[in-house]
A and B are shown apart, each in its own frame.
Chain A
């Protein structure tokens, strides 16, 4: 019944991730951003927290404790540390969760045990297309059935870690519906293109992907003949992105709050002024509200309810909130906010991405 307090197990998990975020991610995020590379050991350490194996059903070697609410708590905490590393650590989810939720028995047996190993499997997914008018429900990449095969055609972008992936889950438009197809690396017609140059999350490698007469066996279609419930997957993805955005916003808020308390002008901390203090109050309120919107969708998904409407409303609110909060954080720091020695400009750049990140994370 009505309660907004994480339980003891969830608190232990978020404490563990908070420590990882504070002691590991916050130490390296700026260098990783400037160098465009995440230390491999960091991704491995993030993997070892064991989020994904915990979620995989016991029959496939996991612990069978999949919960979207718990996932949201975890990803917020990690994204507070750094968004780019979080997206890298969570990349295997992009295949694991869709297979878990929509895969056929054969697909589950083939893929799910791989997510219970000591190192993360090199698997990723491609939804986003390099278009102004990108729409997840009306993709331009097509899948056409020809006999025992599907033929994929189109261009994808923002595909995380595509350069080293062993297989990629590719979303495509089949007769007006978004479906997903497991495409092994090296399949003729699948080309991993140049690395994307993005405004933020620069530490994360993402690539352009082209599909030209790319043929795969029909059984590689996720969910078999029936296909997938794409809304369900997109809703799960929006929980992950929503929670990550809350983490980024919270990072900005906390930094601005602490700065405002120690920055002295006119003989007292600037936080003594309502113009600053009220900005901080609004930021905190926006964040709390956004988090509750995310939790509600996550909870509905855990209850097996359709949350498409709620997830859409939540996502639009989140996209607005995270930019607003990150922008205010830069503003509170004034000139220093614009300088790369301080983290807030990085968070503003990352924040702006959420409106374009549909499908870039899933929990």
Chain B
């Protein structure tokens, strides 16, 4: 049944999130942009109690299942009546937080991408074991390490290795990972975790890749570099060095079959992470787009320019037409994002739609924020206002979680029914 109605519990929560954005994010936006590696303290303090509750809620059915001891070793999916709107809730929260400040949003004390990876590839026991600490104690962060200097979109070129030491039954990780959001926060500044993609067989290409959980303060992990970026400067982005990092055997995500060195199924589980993370990136893009759009409309209104939606095309000025196009591209990309998210709520596959919304939203926010700076004239370019910051923040959404082009490729292959070999 086609419906655009947002469940009331989400609507109520959004009002709260809006308050966080206005009180704990916007006032610090400029300061955190200018002081790149400072941490958004106010935002972290205000959101941690809240994110703990969210993780608790999502773990509750799993814990019942895991503790139920029904002999199914927990590999079956938890039983659930009706759709699960948890992901819709999360996506809308991301949108509202990114409206506040996209850089700070990425510092949300939450399992984040690391959690998405554990949820997608882990067993119920693993999910409980690794994510339970996000429901207690001091603020914690989760991260995910995929990219390497020589392996961007091409995962098959991955060189970080995982070797099983039969004597101790531990995995030993070695390699270099870059562009890791929250890497320092997760591994050095809190008791968090980082999911690391590594290969058990460098000759096997993608098939050799599995995902491993590295917990905070594991010996051998070091921060190789803190990046300086175009935007989202409040976000912690680091390069990690893994030097004989030893982790327990069960820290490889997946069921006992996938965990085996010989298994070639790890990569599929790992890729599933993107089905959830791409709509999340799209939602963040949309939040920035809405911030820029609302601000532009507000400033134009102060100049006496208010859009009359009953005007025909030739009755509109060029600026009014631009604003309407901004609204159209914002709304369209948002609806694609909601669709990919609703599919998750209804337990449907959304690979194509996740890539579609991600590339469309990244593209839209890039254009919308650039247009906002343009329409605001010299004031738009000034660092007095946030429009120029939003334009810089926006661009990352066109790049991470797969560039626009990689996502177009995924969409195209899916539409044409082509393999990676047929459409390179």
| Interface residues, chain A, with chain B CB atoms under 8 Å away | 1-7, 10, 69, 132-138, 231, 257, 260-261, 271-272, 274, 277-278, 280-282, 284-285, 288-290, 292-293, 295-296, 299-300, 308-310, 312-314, 316-317, 355
Contacts A1-B3, A1-B83, A308-B310; is A271 near B418 (CB within 8 Å)? yes
Q: Does B76 contact A (CB under 8 A)?
A: no
Closest to A296 in B: B4
Contacts A1-B85, A133-B314, A292-B339; is A313 near B331 (CB within 8 Å)? yes
0/1 string, B29-70, CB within 8 A of A gives 1: 000000000000000000000000000000000000000000
> B2 and A285: CB pair below 8 A?
no
Closest to B413 in A: A277
> A285 and B4: CB pair below 8 A?
no
> A5 and B2: CB pair below 8 A?
yes
A-B contact pairs, 16 of them (CB 8 A): A3-B342, A6-B2, A138-B312, A274-B409, A277-B409, A277-B413, A277-B416, A280-B416, A288-B336, A289-B332, A289-B335, A289-B336, A292-B336, A299-B4, A312-B324, A313-B324
> B332 and A293: CB pair below 8 A?
yes
Q: Does B88 contact A (CB under 8 A)?
A: yes
The number of residue pairs between A and B whose CB atoms lie closer than 8 Å in the complex comes to 144
Contacts A296-B4, A316-B328; is A308 near B309 (CB within 8 Å)? yes
> B324 and A4: CB pair below 8 A?
no
5 A-B pairs with the lowest CB-CB distances in the bound complex, closest first: A292-B335, A277-B412, A135-B312, A289-B332, A317-B328
> B411 and A285: CB pair below 8 A?
yes
Given A133-B314, A288-B339, A289-B333, 4 more A-B residue pairs with CB atoms under 8 Å apart are A4-B343, A272-B418, A272-B423, A281-B408
Contacts A1-B5, A1-B7, A3-B3; is A133 near B359 (CB within 8 Å)? no
Q: Does B325 contact A (CB under 8 A)?
A: yes
> A278 and B3: CB pair below 8 A?
no
> A3 and B346: CB pair below 8 A?
yes
Closest to A231 in B: B310
User: Which of B314, B336, B341, B408 touches A132 (beta carbons < 8 Å)?
Assistant: B314
> A296 and B335: CB pair below 8 A?
yes
Q: Write out the residue numbers on chain B whose beta carbons fall within 8 Å of the beta carbon of A292.
A: 332, 335-336, 339
| Interface residues, chain B, with chain A CB atoms under 8 Å away | 1-7, 83, 85, 88, 309-315, 324-325, 327-329, 331-333, 335-336, 338-339, 341-343, 345-346, 353, 356, 359-360, 405, 408-409, 411-413, 415-416, 418, 422-424
> A5 and B346: CB pair below 8 A?
yes
> A316 and B325: CB pair below 8 A?
yes
Q: Write out the residue numbers on chain B whose beta carbons fall within 8 Å of the beta carbon of A2.
A: 3-7, 85, 88, 338, 341-342, 345
> A316 and B411: CB pair below 8 A?
no
In angstroms, Cα B7 to Cα A94, docked, is 35
Q: How far is the CB of B281 from chain A (nearest CB, A)?
A: 16
User: Which of A4, A231, A260, A280 touches B2 (beta carbons < 8 Å)?
Assistant: A4
In angstroms, Cα B413 to Cα A361, docked, is 36
> B309 and A69: CB pair below 8 A?
no
Q: How far is the CB of B301 from chain A (nearest CB, A)?
A: 15
Q: Write out the residue numbers on chain A whose beta carbons fall within 8 Å of the beta carbon of B312.
A: 133-138
Q: Write out the residue numbers on chain B whose beta carbons fall within 8 Å of the beta carbon of A296.
A: 4, 331, 335
In angstroms, Cα B332 to Cα A314, docked, is 9
Q: Write out the residue numbers on chain B whose beta carbons fall within 8 Å of the beta carbon of A281.
A: 408-409, 411-412, 415
Q: How far is the CB of A25 from chain B (nearest CB, A)?
A: 24
> B411 and A284: CB pair below 8 A?
yes
Q: Write out the residue numbers on chain B whose beta carbons fall within 8 Å of the beta carbon of A290.
A: 332
Closest to A273 in B: B423
Q: Write out the residue numbers on chain A whose beta carbons fall within 8 Å of the beta carbon of B424.
A: 272, 274
Q: Write out the residue numbers on chain B whose beta carbons fall within 8 Å of the beta carbon of A288.
A: 336, 339, 353, 356
In angstroms, Cα B1 to Cα A299, docked, is 11
Q: Write out the residue numbers on chain A whose beta carbons fall within 8 Å of the beta carbon of B311.
A: 135, 137
User: Which of B6, B310, B328, B346 touches A313 (beta carbons < 8 Å)?
Assistant: B328
Q: Write out the residue numbers on chain B whose beta carbons fall within 8 Å of the beta carbon of A10.
A: 2
In angstroms, Cα B325 to Cα A194, docked, is 37
Query: Most B CB atoms within 10 A — which of A132, A281, A292, A296?
Result: A281
Q: Write out the residue numbers on chain A whose beta carbons fall within 8 Å of the beta carbon of B353.
A: 288
In angstroms, Cα B353 to Cα A244, docked, is 22
Q: Write out the residue numbers on chain B whose beta carbons fall within 8 Å of the beta carbon of A316.
A: 313, 324-325, 328
Q: Write out the residue numbers on chain A whose beta carbons fall within 8 Å of the beta carbon of B413.
A: 277
Q: Write out the residue numbers on chain B whose beta carbons fall within 8 Å of the beta carbon of A1.
A: 3, 5-7, 83, 85
> A293 and B328: CB pair below 8 A?
yes
Q: Write out the residue numbers on chain A whose beta carbons fall within 8 Å of the beta carbon of B3.
A: 1-3, 299
In angstroms, Cα B418 to Cα A257, docked, is 12
In angstroms, Cα B335 to Cα A299, docked, is 13
Q: Write out the residue numbers on chain A whose beta carbons fall within 8 Å of the beta carbon of B336.
A: 285, 288-289, 292
Contacts A5-B2, A295-B2; is A312 near B335 (CB within 8 Å)? no
Q: Write out the residue numbers on chain B whose beta carbons fall within 8 Å of the beta carbon of A317.
A: 325, 328-329, 332
Query: Most A CB atoms within 10 A — which of B2, B353, B409, B413?
Result: B2
Q: How far is the CB of A81 from chain B (nearest CB, A)?
A: 21
Q: Write out the residue numbers on chain B whose beta carbons fall within 8 Å of the beta carbon of A132.
A: 314
Query: Most B CB atoms within 10 A — which of A3, A271, A308?
Result: A3
> A274 and B360: CB pair below 8 A?
no
Q: How far is the CB of A295 from chain B (nearest CB, A)?
A: 6
Q: Write out the residue numbers on chain A whose beta carbons fall within 8 Å of the beta carbon of B339.
A: 4, 288, 292
User: Which of B346, B360, B411 touches A289 (beta carbons < 8 Å)?
Assistant: B360
Q: How far is the CB of B211 from chain A (nearest CB, A)?
A: 28
Closest to A135 in B: B312
Closest to B315 in A: A135
In angstroms, Cα B409 to Cα A274, docked, is 8
